[in-house]
């Protein structure tokens, strides 16, 4: 029995030690979630994207200031309102040593956009991210992309589309690509321990990455580990003890603790995710604009941002981040409980009203604080926590008879272009329109803006669209939080990016 116990201990130690032994050329990230897949074309998940982007590169990328620059492409031009040309860099290798060619780029774009291209009738869930992409063609080391209609934001959407090897995908299939990686990025996959960690090692054949983001070259460290730590307190503890070097989603209440630790620091960057409360515009209560206005005036956003978010967010009065293209200064619905009560009375609720706010468990504390503030104006909100899948079904934009009252949620906008957030959340019947809002005038503006090539005119269309929703209030627009990271002082050469990527190509350790 004693030998059996010793054997078990030795086996467990063999598994644990690779993640605990600190190597001077190793960076460990305490990360909130595991990847859903390692197939770049088969997800719509920001955490999965962050992991994959260390294994694969895209045609284009963004620098730390969100500027779009060539990556696998050495240059690109728009040759007509519906045509883009990308010159593909020569000398790029996949992790198996094979050459990356323009044919691989075409294959990747076709796999993302052609119906049924992923096999067994499956179409990539990322298809809509490439809008009206109609076809791709290859001429030597050029890839010519043709759109079905003018769509000026194609370059803004390409940094999140990674290039795969045609030969490798044809060999292992979509099922194989979910767990196997033959990438072209700075790191190659060593092991994926699902639910626990993803281990990568430096790819010494790496071509160097975007020349506009110095220093170009192979990765600085030998090994990278994304350690899955969903629980916030455990993630912070791992950073403070030195078990990990970077953690994402550092909560505001832990900022002082991390700053006061001599070996760690806090890094922040303006985020790209807008938070809002969807109001059921088809329901009896919030179909009345007076009720939507009452909620807006009953919510003290400044108090929540200061007290709950630690001041690490910027208030918004429309769907767009202040940093997004087309964002404009809008009228604010400042906290005014008396006005909120008057609007409630005018809507037929002089004694207030009882409603339900739906949310996910991660936001329970924030939503409870919101409910407490709303109660001061007579809006008695019960907080109901559900899993994401249940909430998506309850607030499905295709539901003709939605039952919810209010829904605290958010939408990411990594491209910082309105197309990526405004259309899905506000266009009639679109996939993210949880408020069930419909406005033909707004739909027309959004459609015009999607194909307008004149930058100033396009921004003007979005200005008009934001003015409409600011007045209609289909949602109560809340804030765009900063992304907050805890970082070991042994990490050098890394800073967070607004698109939430943890790009470790240039990160070094002392």
Together in a domain, 192 and 341: no
pLDDT over 60 at 432, yes or no: yes
Q: Is residue 14 part of a domain?
A: no
Together in a domain, 412 and 502: no
Together in a domain, 66 and 150: yes
Query: What pTM value is reported for the model?
Result: 0.82
pLDDT over 70 at 5, yes or no: no
Buried-exposed string 456-494: b where 16+ CB fall within 10 A, e elsewhere: eebbbbbbebbeebbebbbbbbbbbbbbbbbbbeebeeb
Return the CATH number at 147. Answer: 3.40.190.10
What tens digit of pLDDT does each residue of 23-39 get? 459 999 999 999 999 99
pLDDT over 50 at 120, yes or no: yes
Together in a domain, 471 and 504: no
Strand order in the sheet with 73-80: 73-80, 83-88, 142-147, 133-139
Together in a domain, 163 and 247: yes
Q: Which residue has the tokens 């559900």?
A: 386
Residue 228 banded pLDDT, cuts 50, 70, 90: very high
Q: Quick one: which of 270, 290, 264, 267 has its CA closest to 279?
A: 290
**Whole domain around residue 476: which residue ranges?**
273-482
Together in a domain, 226 and 286: no
pLDDT at 24: 52
Return the CATH number at 391. Answer: 3.10.105.10
Q: Is residue 335 part of a domain?
A: yes
Together in a domain, 82 and 144: yes
Together in a domain, 109 and 211: yes
Together in a domain, 500 and 428: no
| CA–CA gap between residue 472 and residue 431 (Å, rounded) | 20
Q: CA of 185: how far to CAs of 13, 202, 220, 377, 479, in Å?
A: 31, 9, 13, 54, 34
pLDDT over 90 percentage in the chain? 89
Together in a domain, 195 and 49: yes
In the chain, the number of structural domains is 2
Residue 172 banded pLDDT, cuts 50, 70, 90: very high
pLDDT at 362: 82
Together in a domain, 147 and 62: yes
Q: Is 255 helix (H, G, I), strand (E, B) or coil?
A: helix
pLDDT at 63: 86
Residue 300 banded pLDDT, cuts 50, 70, 90: very high
Question: What letter does residue 23 receive in the DSSP assignment?
Answer: P
């Amino acid at each position: 029995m004693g030998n059996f116990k010793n054997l078990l201990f030795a086996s467990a130690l063999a598994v644990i030690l690779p993640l605990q032994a600190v190597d001077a050329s190793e960076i460990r990230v305490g990360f909130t979630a595991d990847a859903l897949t390692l197939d770049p074309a088969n997800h719509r998940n920001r955490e999965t994207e962050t992991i994959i982007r260390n294994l694969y590169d895209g045609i284009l990328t963004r620098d730390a200031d969100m500027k779009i620059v060539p990556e696998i492409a050495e240059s690109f031009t728009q040759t007509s309102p519906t045509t883009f040309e990308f010159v593909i860099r020569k000398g790029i290798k996949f992790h198996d040593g094979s050459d990356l060619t323009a044919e691989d780029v075409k294959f990747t774009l076709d796999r993302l956009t052609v119906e049924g291209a992923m096999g067994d009738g499956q179409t990539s869930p990322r298809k809509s991210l490439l809008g009206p992409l109609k076809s791709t063609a290859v001429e030597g080391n050029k890839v010519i992309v043709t759109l079905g209609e003018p769509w000026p934001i194609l370059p803004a959407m390409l940094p999140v589309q990674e290039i795969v090897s045609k030969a490798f995908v044809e060999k292992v299939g979509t099922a194989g690509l979910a767990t196997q990686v033959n990438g072209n990025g700075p790191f190659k996959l060593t092991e994926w321990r699902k639910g626990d960690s993803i281990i990568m090692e430096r790819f010494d054949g790496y071509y160097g990455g975007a020349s506009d983001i110095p220093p170009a070259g192979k990765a600085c460290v030998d090994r990278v580990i994304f350690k899955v730590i969903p629980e916030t307190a455990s993630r912070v503890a791992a950073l403070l003890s030195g078990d990990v070097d970077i953690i994402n989603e550092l909560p505001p209440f832990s900022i002082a603790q991390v700053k006061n630790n001599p070996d760690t620091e806090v890094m922040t960057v303006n985020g790209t995710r807008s938070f809002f409360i969807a109001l059921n515009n088809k329901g009896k209560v919030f179909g009345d604009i007076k009720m939507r206005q009452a909620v807006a005036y009953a919510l003290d956003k400044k108090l929540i941002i200061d007290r709950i978010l630690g001041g690490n967010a910027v208030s918004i009065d429309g769907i767009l981040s202040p940093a997004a293209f087309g964002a404009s200064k809008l009228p604010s619905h400042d906290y005014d409980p008396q006005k909120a009560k008057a609007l409630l009375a005018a809507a037929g609720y002089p004694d207030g009203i009882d409603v339900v706010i739906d949310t996910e468990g991660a936001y329970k504390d924030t939503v409870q604080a919101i409910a407490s503030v709303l109660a001061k104006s007579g809006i008695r909100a019960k907080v109901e926590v559900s899993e994401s899948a249940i909430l998506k079904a309850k607030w499905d934009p295709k539901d003709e008879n939605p039952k919810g009252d209010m829904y605290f949620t958010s939408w990411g906008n990594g491209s910082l272009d309105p197309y990526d957030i405004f259309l899905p959340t506000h266009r009639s019947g679109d996939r993210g329109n949880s408020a069930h809002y419909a406005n033909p005038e707004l739909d027309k503006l959004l459609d015009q803006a999607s194909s307008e090539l004149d930058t100033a005119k396009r921004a003007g269309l979005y200005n008009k669209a934001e003015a409409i929703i600011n007045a209609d209030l289909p949602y109560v627009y809340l804030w765009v939080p900063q992304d907050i990271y805890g970082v070991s002082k042994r990490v050098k050469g890394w800073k967070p990016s607004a698109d939430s990527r943890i790009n470790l190509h240039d990160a070094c350790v002392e």
